[in-house]
């Protein structure tokens, strides 16, 4: 029997939206070390442009306060409306906005990177149990 090449599973793609470069780089580096593919955006507008360009992501992790015309909540609303299969996790140093629950999970800042990555992994596992991402 001829051995068949095994398909390498695609790494889950996480879109991180954070305007503080040092925070963004820190979480992005840790995610890459965990084997995720990471797209870094500093504005919610850029994140939406990226998706509209046809690029694929599996999860969005966004700060609520972002510069530009869209904030993280509006980005989450846009995803809920147009890309409901892509889970969104929001983060902020401020109090949890009342309606954030229907838009996605919420992580308070400053966040524990390990716990945040565990949350992302668990949400991705629920999204497609048993399937390589």
Partner 1 sequence: MSDPCILIVEQDLLVRTPLAEYLRECGYLVLEASSAGDARALLEDGSRRIDIVLAEVKSGEPSGFALASWVRTHLPNTQIVLAGTIATATEKAGDICQEGPALSKPYDHRLVLDHIQRLLAARDRNDRT
Footprint of partner 1 (CB under 8 A): 21-22, 25, 28, 32, 37, 39-43, 46-47, 49-50, 53, 55
- Least distance to partner 1 from the beta carbon of 93, Å? 18
Dist. CA 127–CA 85, nearest whole Å: 8
Nearer to partner 1, 1 or 53 (CB): 53
CA dihedral of residues 122, 67, 81, 92 (deg, nearest 10): 40
- Least distance to partner 1 from the beta carbon of 19, Å? 8
Pairing of strands 59-63, 105-108: unpaired
Nearer to partner 1, 19 or 100 (CB): 19
Cα dihedral across residues 14, 19, 21, 26: positive or negative: negative
Nearer to partner 1, 17 or 107 (CB): 17
């Amino acid at each position: 029997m001829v051995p068949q090449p095994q398909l390498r599973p695609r790494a889950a793609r996480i879109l991180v939206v954070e305007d503080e470069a040092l925070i963004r780089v820190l979480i992005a580096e840790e995610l890459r070390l965990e084997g995720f593919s990471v797209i870094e955006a500093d504005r919610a507008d850029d994140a939406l442009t990226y998706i509209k360009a046809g690029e694929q992501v599996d999860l969005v992790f966004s700060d609520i306060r972002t510069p530009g015309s869209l904030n993280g909540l509006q980005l989450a609303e846009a995803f809920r409306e147009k890309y409901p299969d892509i889970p969104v996790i929001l983060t902020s140093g401020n109090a949890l906005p009342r309606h954030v629950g229907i838009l996605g999970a919420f992580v308070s800042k400053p966040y524990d990177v390990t716990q945040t990555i565990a949350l992302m992994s668990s949400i991705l596992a629920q999204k497609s149990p048993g399937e390589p991402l």
